[in-house]
Structure 1
Amino acid sequence: MNHRRLTPSMSLLLVFEAAARHESYTRAADELSLSQSAISRQVQTLEQQMGVSLFRREGRSVRLTDVGRRYFMELSAALGRIRSATLQAMSHQSGMGSLRLATLPTFGSKWLLPRLHDFYVANPGITVHIHSRIGNIDFDAGELDAAITVGSGEWPGLTAHRLYNEFLVAVTGPAGFDDKNQPTPAWAKNQTLLTIASNPQAWAEWFSHHQLDHRQMRMGPSFELTSHLIQAVRAGIGIGLVPKALVEDELARGELLAVSEAISSQRSYYLVHPHRNQTLPSLQAFRTWLLAAC
């Protein structure tokens, strides 16, 4: 396999990411200060280099193909990591310290990283090192200063700052639905239910909220990562119950449909850290920014 084919130039990737995010060559051209024809040519170059069709043309509009949409999701996450690493490198020599922060993987990529630029603008001398963690956080090893996690608020031996309550929304793919035919809780009770391993009781809470018979629950696979569950929903494996904050973009673009209104769960998101880190300057700055952002 030609390595160049597997590593397109950054200029091609940035053009594709902008065009895919907007599903519009015109809006991508405005964002990147290029002509619409230049966007089209670079997308065609990328498609030829990869040997796949990333967009389909519908009159004067463009829409992502299935492979294009999957590529966009993977690429946007990778570009987010590149931008974050660049910001960290730029602030490394400023002398204002660093923060080693653990976060839930999907929360980090879907909520935190898109907003982290604002923190760096306000605090250019601080570097935030992001570590993905699921479950209990071990601060005794000395590798982490703080963590963003979700739970009931019981964090023995730690200082916990509540960020916001978790709201869960049941989602399904758009196939088979239109403006006159939308998914409902009555429809959902007969579907395969996908779960997050860390919150196995979520569907029981949802069924109780909608006064549905728990005996009708058809439990399907469970997933450690919310991002994997979202992909499984998109693939038609079943319906998922996920934090609404992590699927706002997909709902807005119509890639997922809400089965009903979001319901409040028994969990909240928290910033937690050992008491000893209370006066850490980088943590103080990040805590102030994060609480305001939430």
Structure 2
Amino acid sequence: MLDMKELPSIRALRTFLVVANHLSFSKAARELSLTQGAVSKQIAQLEQQLGQPLFERHLNGIQLSSIGLRYLPQIAEALEALQNATASLRQLDQVEEIITVNVTPSFASLWLIPKINGFAKAFPHLQVQLKTGDGMVNDISTDNDIIIRCLPLAKHYENATLLCYESLRLVASANLLQLRPIRHIDDLANHVFLPQVTRPQLWEQFRTHHDIAFPMDFYGVGFEHFYLSLEAVRNQLGLALLPDFMVDDLIAEQLLFNPLNSAMTSHYGYYMIVPHYKRHARKVCVFTQWLADMMGNSQDHIS
């Protein structure tokens, strides 16, 4: 291991990055609020310390040397790591605990994020770190404290609690319905349906649920997540099936519409998965109780 005295200073490395970015000592000096001479001196001292030239000097300017090209990305990554570590420490200065919650992207963007400010105000010393994931959870021995997934209804999921059954709304934009109103089930024949690529069976279930005999016209682009389908609906690309607790507020505000008041229960549910050894941790109990209260207060979804 190198002696700390042999390592370049943070200031010298920062100067190297700025000069490499501009390929100009004068422009780097302006950004760093230094004289051009001071910048040139720092680079010269760094090169002397490394025993390698970082730049090639030419009459019409400078270029990174082959050594400089190799050194630059490693130093950029190292300084970024230092900045991240320092920023994280400062942000966590007033935080007593951290809880990591891993949720599906649509659950995060369409339900959790709009409501998470209430949790932050109620529990200011407990910071929630949100991560996203999808599909089955095969390994819960990770840094996640709570995992929320939409899974086929079953009783065999280990360490899982059913939060709610999935009930889907047929949704459309106001402009689309003005162009092609839907007053009867047969009016759906005039519309395009947005494919759900990970669960194409939902539209087949919808067809059976409403006893639809006419061919269904599907849009040429499929969408993996509900939040993508929602954006497609807003852009008047077609009709989508979206979970009620994610869109009912938008329907109430008439930002979206549910033609025919169509609702359909899928064969899926939203499960909260907590590793057994974390189940009784205070932070987990606080968040799971808040989650149950929020979902229960908004729509009687808790099973």
TM-score calculated relative to the size of structure 1: 0.61
Per-residue CA deviations over 1:22-44 (Å, capped at 9, x if unaligned) read xxxxxxxxxxxxxxxxxxxxxxx
CA-based RMSD of the aligned residues comes to 2.9
Residues 156, 143 of structure 1: CA spacing in aligned structure 2 closer, same or farther, 3 A cutoff? farther
Alpha-carbon distance between aligned partners in 1 of 2:279 and 2:245, rounded to the nearest angstrom = 28
**Aligned-partner Cα distance in 1 for 2:185–2:124:** 47
Superposition deviation, residue 234 in structure 1 = 2.2
Deviation at 1:228, TM superposition (A): 1.4
Secondary structure of the 1:115 match is helix
Alignment of 1:176-195 (within 5 A): 177=177, 181-195=181-195
In 2: Cα distance, 1:181 partner to 1:217 partner: 17
Distance 1:207 1:249 in 2: 26
Aligned residues: 206
> Which residue identity is paired with 1:217?
M
Q: Which residue of 2 aligns with 1:67?
A: none
- Quote the offset at 1:260 in angstroms: 2.5
For 2:281, the equivalent position in structure 1 comes to: 280
Matches within 5 A, 1:1-294: 93-95=94-96, 97-137=97-137, 139-140=139-140, 142-154=142-154, 158-175=158-175, 177=177, 181-213=181-213, 216-220=215-219, 221-261=221-261, 262-294=263-295
Shift, 1:230, TM fit: 1.4
Deviation at 1:203, TM superposition (A): 1.0
TM-score (norm 2): 0.59
- 8 Å CA contact 2:140–2:275 kept in 1: the answer is no
User: Does the CA contact (< 8 Å) of 1:195 and 1:241 recur in 2?
Assistant: no
**How far apart are the structure 2 equivalents of 1:92 and 1:284?**
23
Which of structures 1 and 2 has the bigger CA Rg?
2
Once the 2 structures are TM-superposed, how far is the Cα of residue 168 of structure 1 from its aligned partner? 0.6
For the 8 Å contact 1:158–1:275, the answer to whether it is kept is no
Structure 1 position 112, deviation (Å): 1.0
Cα distance in 1 between the residues matched to 2:98 and 2:254: 39
Question: What secondary structure does 1:255 align onto?
Answer: coil
Distance 1:275 1:240, change over 3 A: same
User: Aligned partners of 2:119, 2:176: CA distance in 1, in Å?
Assistant: 42
CA distance in 1, matches of 2:181, 2:216: 22
Tell me the alpha carbon deviations over residues 113-155 of structure 1, each in whole angstroms, 9 at most, x when there is no partner. 2222232333332111100112233545623222111122447
Q: Percent identity?
A: 24
For the residues of structure 1 that align with 2:157 and 2:245, how far apart are their CA atoms? 28
The 3 A distance-change label for structure 1 pair 218 and 192 is same
Deviation at 1:108, TM superposition (A): 1.0
Unaligned runs of 5+ in 1: 1-87
SS at match of 1:212: coil
Contact kept, 8 Å, 2:104 with 2:149, in 1: the verdict is yes
By how many angstroms is 1:160 displaced? 1.4
